[in-house]
Amino acid sequence: MRTRLRRLRAAACAGLLGTALLGLAAGPASAAAPSGHPSTRDYLALGDSLAAGYQTLPGGGFEVGHGYAQDLAHTLGGRAQRSGHPFSFTDLGCPGETTGSMINGGCPFPHPYAGAQLDAAVAYLKAHRGDDVLVTLDIGANDVDGCATAQSVDFGCALQGVAAVGKDTGTILSKLKAAAGPHTRFLAMNLYDPVLADWLTGSQGRLLAGLSVPLADMLNATIGLTDARYGVPTVDVAGAFDTNSLLPLVPLDGQQVPLDVARIMTWTNMARGDIHANDTGYQVIADTFLARI
């Protein structure tokens, strides 16, 4: 997703995704990874454009490989070096990835592996079964892309996307956990709410921004539930971005705006219609992951 309209559509459908997933049958929970390892030796980043470190550039164009996974790898690599341990970083994230394409292949963005991201991830984990590995994951938003506009929601489309996410996410997590060794740790993240940027566009935009928060809450509650079913801790990126903080009002470009709106406008590229985090926002996401490691 690279246009503002497509991003808003995906965010507007987020609540429907959460509602439907709550009704899914529980998957198998697994025990937490053993503790006591002095440092992460290997870091594997999985997911979509956020995992890939995608963002647009001020003068046009875009870059990939400058996001939270790279920030996290920089810190983890430094820790490993100070502990006298080797460290490796592998990022398989692909912009535009859906849960279906992650399983079956067909990610629309060029990527450094043949076939599906899940197959590449499983192969990696099997090859590192005896190692101390950290795996991070964000996936699912692209499955509901195109189901809504600012005026309406196509519920049939949304429910189809929700069903795909519910089914495919279970497949992804179960295959990853089956391939992982005893010292592999998993962390998944929930999501900030880029639709909050519409607060700045007038009264209708403020209404849409306000409605988007409970929808984002439902999505993030579902992410947490689904992660928990497979024994995966959820990193609270939504909380780090103060998604539910309509108060206090804070200054932004000469006006007073809700704190959550200010966060979106200063920590993402929504000022130019790009929902991806900017350098500051990606570092916030990385720091939120680090707090759970």
Q: Which own/partner pairs from 79-83 qualify as long-range (CB within 8 Å, at least 24 positions apart)? A: 79/39, 79/40, 80/39, 80/40, 80/41, 83/38, 83/39
Query: pLDDT tens digits for 249-289?
Result: 999 999 999 999 999 999 999 999 998 999 999 999 999 99
The residue whose two tokens read 């990022």 is: 91
Beta bridge partners of 202: none
Query: pLDDT tens digits for 199-246?
Result: 998 888 888 788 778 777 777 787 788 898 999 999 999 999 999 999
Closest to 72 in 3D by CA, of 232, 293, 290? 290
Alpha-carbon distances, residue 44 vs 155, 187, 243, 277, 280 (angstroms): 35, 11, 27, 20, 22
How far is residue 100's CA from residue 116's CA, in Å, rounded to a whole number?
A: 9
pTM, two decimals, is 0.84
Query: pLDDT tens digits for 31-79?
Result: 333 344 445 689 999 999 999 999 999 989 999 999 999 999 999 999 9
Is 101 in contact with 107 (CB distance < 8 Å)? yes
Q: Set out the domains of the chain in order of their start, with CATH numbers.
A: 4-290 (3.40.50.1110)
